[in-house]
Amino acid sequence: MLILGVDVISENPKRFAVVSWFNGRLERKGEFTLYRLIRFVQSKRPDIVAIDSVTELGDDLRKFLRALPGGTKLVQVTGRPGEQRSLQSLAREHGIRVVDRFDPYEEAKLSALLASKGVGYEVLAFEDEVVIKVTRGRSPGKGGWSQDRYRKRVHNLVRDKVREIGERLRRAEIPFDLEVEEKDYGLARGEFKVYAKREELAGLIKPMRGGDVEVRIQPVERAELGFAPLKGEEAVRGRKSIIVGIDPGITVGIAAIDLNGRVVALHSERNMLVGEVFRFVSNVGHPVIVATDVNPAPGFVEKIARSFKANLFVPRESLRVEEKNELLRNLGINVDDDHQRDALAAAYKAYLRLKPKLEHIDARLREAGLTGKADEVKALVIQGYNLGEAMQRVTLRERPGEEGEEPEERVNVDLRPYMRRIRELEKRIEFLERENAELREIIKEQRKTIGRLERRIADYDEEVRRKVLRERELEAKVKRIEVLERELRDAKDVIARLSRDLVQVKRMNVVEARGSAVPLKVLRVLSWRELERIEREIGLRKGDVLFIVNPAGAGKAIAEELVERGIRALITEKPLPEPVREVLREAHVPFFTSEELDVKRVDEFAVVERERLEEAIEELLSRWEEEDKEREAERILRLVEEYRIERVKELRRRAEEERR
């Protein structure tokens, strides 16, 4: 085991004295700046960096904690903030000789030696949570079919990596939550919230960079630093030992009772993080047991127990509501909500399990005259010490703080019964070790079975996936059939309409063949583009009769073009614009509406009865001829009248000149 003791030499510039402790051997390493100290720690990867107070790192404390390699702890040997003791008194208590209290190297040496004995508190900068993000390694970009195939392949790789990580965590029995974003029958992203320290994932999950899939592992940093004892026995000294019940969920319930069964804290709050729960419990006391009311224990509760190095209490089966209410009636306590009830019931159930042992300890302590240290002895027994060892540790600590003074009183305890018990337990340990080896072989076989079953499950999952894909493909085909059926119905309707039109066209052809009808060339609008279309498709010859569906917007130019092409007549569904009418009237090109001639029209075909057309044209031209004659006569009369008037004026003017 390698421990580095550190103490500050100067503040500006900040320099540190470093002493190493390696399996009992001390060595002075020299003077380091903060940057060189970080590099040295990263290269040596010690188990512990020990310091008498983390305040000596100042504003660089967080930076130093982030730079620590995995598995390296920063330990404040003098205790928790607010409960710290001097380095020298701790050294004397643990039998370490103090030479020069003002020498930084001596202070660093004392820190290393105390940490080697399990004295001090680990500084916790990160929650017992790790976020694992699985994402695409690169953007698929834009593209066609090949780009789509590549994108689907990457999303399938992300899905497979998420499954692999989930299986590894489950196999290692590490609790976690998972959020995913689905894409292309695969996953675009997966995010694990793992309830474990980063060190617990070493060798289990590896980060990946630079490929199609990226895996990033990020520990969750605490808002406030936490302090956890290196050894559980150190935490019970001078602090109230408690049993804590926790009810996790959206609303977290916390209950704490002391080792005499008295309730000391009840609390519930929504969305409490692990660090907030840790700090709340730390302010109440040091938990020797963390309890839950359900079996198996939630990962949240396991994590709190690990953080405090406390025993975890799990009932044989989950507590029923009636049992919880009965426990609270026995306590005579009223709670604010169900979360406080569940937490208090868990803590009290754990206390009742320990009550006979705790009462036995009280009786033995009264006989030994150690009733004042009952809480500390009980805590040590709960942590695994036998009663004799716990009493011996407590009595050995009963010494003044100043070196050289003798303790005021000593308590003589007969340790022979406990030594016999220790030998019995050692034999028991040998038996359990053999049994443990046998059970390890059984576990190995069971793991092989589990691996075989997991492969079968993976094959089954693949079969289910194929089945789902087939069902989706079938669903897509059903939808496609429905679309085609609608298109078929629409096509049948079109065919039926066209059939009716065809019958009408045939009738029109018969009429045309008999010579009793004149075919019309149909234009949708009267425009240059439509004129070009009809010219291109069927041609436009002199003497044609045109049928215009909508002549609105036409002008004189296109009307003059029609006159120039020599059309015989123009038939429209709507009235012609006035400029067009004037041009056609001037050129004596007849124009009519479809209602006047009873035009028969089917889509792009239209006919009119020849006899009716000829009569209409003849009648219109005759009317125009009469109108032209009348207009010419009026023009001549108007010219004669104008001549007469001018002649009278001329004669009057000459008469006046003669008189003058």
Angle (deg, nearest 10), helices 528-537 and 556-565: 30
Average pLDDT over residues 77-84: 84
Residue 254: pLDDT over 70: yes
Helix (H, G, I), strand (E, B) or coil at 659: helix
Is the previous residue joined to 13 through a cis bond, with omega within 30 degrees of 0?
yes
pLDDT tens digits along 156-184: 899 999 999 999 888 887 878 888 888 87
**Is residue 425 in a domain?**
no
Q: How far apart are CA 437 and CA 448, in angstroms?
A: 17
DSSP state of 540: -
Q: What is the CATH number of the domain that holds 115?
A: 3.30.420
Residues 313 and 269 grouped into a single domain: yes
**Is residue 414 in a domain?**
no
* Domain span at 47: 1-119
In this structure, the dihedral spanned by the alpha carbons of residues 349, 353, 355 and 360, taken in order and rounded to 10 degrees, is -170
Q: Which of 303-307, 416-420, 622-626 has the lowest mean pLDDT?
A: 416-420
Residue 114: pLDDT over 80: yes
Residue 538: pLDDT over 60: yes
Residues 48 and 182 grouped into a single domain: no
Q: Which of 124-138, 402-416, 424-438 has the lowest mean pLDDT?
A: 402-416
Q: Find, among 297, 307, 347, 290, the residue nearest to 324 by Cα.
A: 347
Q: How far apart are CA 15 and CA 31, in angstroms?
A: 7
Measuring CA to CA, how many Å separate 187 from each of 133, 156, 161, 162? 12, 7, 10, 9
Residue 410: pLDDT over 60: no
pLDDT tens digits along 544-579: 888 888 888 888 898 888 888 888 899 998 888 988
**Is residue 257 in a domain?**
yes
Residues 172 and 248 grouped into a single domain: no
Contact 547, 571 (CB under 8 A): yes
Average pLDDT over residues 510-530: 78
Residue 400: pLDDT over 80: no
Q: Find, among 591, 561, 589, the residue nearest to 576 by Cα.
A: 591
Measuring CA to CA, how many Å separate 375 from each of 150, 233, 328, 378, 614? 66, 12, 24, 5, 127
Q: Residue 142 — very low, low, confident or very high, per pLDDT cuts 50/70/90? A: low
CA-based R_g, the chain, Å: 52
Mark which of 119, 145, 179 sits at the end of a domain: 119
Q: Which of 121-125, 249-253, 421-425, 582-586 has the lowest mean pLDDT?
A: 421-425
The H or E element that residue 270 is part of is strand 263-270
Residues 217 and 257 grouped into a single domain: no
Q: Residue 88 — very low, low, confident or very high, per pLDDT cuts 50/70/90? A: confident
Residue 213: pLDDT over 50: yes
Q: Residue 260 — very low, low, confident or very high, per pLDDT cuts 50/70/90? A: confident
Q: Which of 166-170, 209-213, 603-607 has the lowest mean pLDDT?
A: 603-607
Question: What is the value of pTM for the model shown?
Answer: 0.42
The pLDDT of residue 586: 87
Residues 182 and 327 grouped into a single domain: no
Dihedrals φ, ψ of 518, to 5°?
Answer: -115, 125
Q: Which two tokens stand for residue 150?
A: 């590549």
Residue 402: pLDDT over 50: no
Residues 280 and 377 grouped into a single domain: yes
Helix (H, G, I), strand (E, B) or coil at 132: strand
Residues 164 and 216 grouped into a single domain: yes
Residue, of 631 and 197, whose pLDDT is higher: 631
Mark which of 119, 139, 165 sits at the end of a domain: 119
In this structure, the dihedral spanned by the alpha carbons of residues 163, 168, 172 and 178, taken in order and rounded to 10 degrees, is -30
Residue 395: pLDDT over 80: no
The pLDDT of residue 403: 39
**Is residue 471 in a domain?**
no
How many residues can be counted in the chain? 660
Q: Strand 591-593 and strand 569-572: pairing? A: parallel
Residue 155: pLDDT over 60: yes
Residue 417: pLDDT over 80: no
The DSSP code sequence of 326-350 is HHHHHHT---SSHHHHHHHHHHHHH
Residue 318: pLDDT over 70: yes
The pLDDT of residue 565: 87
Residue 407: pLDDT over 50: no
**Residue 150 neighbours by CB under 8 Å, 6+ apart:** 140, 143
Q: How far apart are CA 62 and CA 74, in angstroms?
A: 11
Contact 96, 110 (CB under 8 A): yes
Q: Which two tokens stand for residue 228?
A: 């956890």
**Is residue 432 in a domain?**
no
Q: Residue 508 — very low, low, confident or very high, per pLDDT cuts 50/70/90? A: low
Q: Which of 244-253, 403-412, 444-453, 567-576 has the lowest mean pLDDT?
A: 403-412
The pLDDT of residue 38: 92
Portion of the chain with pLDDT greater than 90, in percent = 17
Residue, of 436 and 660, whose pLDDT is higher: 436
Q: Which two tokens stand for residue 496?
A: 């039926």
**Is residue 351 in a domain?**
yes
Residues 210 and 294 grouped into a single domain: no
- Dihedral sign for Cα atoms in the order 150, 153, 155, 161: negative
The pLDDT of residue 602: 67
Give the number of domains in the chain: 4
Residues 394 and 262 grouped into a single domain: yes
DSSP state of 144: S
The pLDDT of residue 398: 54
Residue 232: pLDDT over 70: no
Q: Which of 221-235, 355-369, 567-581 has the lowest mean pLDDT?
A: 221-235
Mark which of 196, 222, 248 sits at the end of a domain: 222
The pLDDT of residue 401: 41
Q: How far is CA 349 from the centre of its chain?
A: 39
**Is residue 309 in a domain?**
yes
Residues 267 and 380 grouped into a single domain: yes
Residue, of 495 and 186, whose pLDDT is higher: 495
**Is residue 470 in a domain?**
no
The pLDDT of residue 510: 63
Average pLDDT over residues 512-536: 81
Residues 161 and 107 grouped into a single domain: no
Residues 161 and 270 grouped into a single domain: no
Q: Find, among 120, 133, 45, the residue nearest to 90 by Cα.
A: 120
pLDDT tens digits along 44-75: 899 999 999 888 888 888 889 888 887 788 99
Contact 217, 207 (CB under 8 A): yes
Q: How far apart are CA 16 and CA 30, in angstroms?
A: 8
Q: What is the CATH number of the domain that holds 132?
A: 3.30.70
The H or E element that residue 200 is part of is none
Measuring CA to CA, how many Å separate 172 from each of 81, 195, 201, 208, 543? 35, 12, 9, 20, 97
Contact 155, 188 (CB under 8 A): yes
The pLDDT of residue 231: 67
Average pLDDT, the chain: 83
Residue 236: pLDDT over 70: no
Helix (H, G, I), strand (E, B) or coil at 446: helix
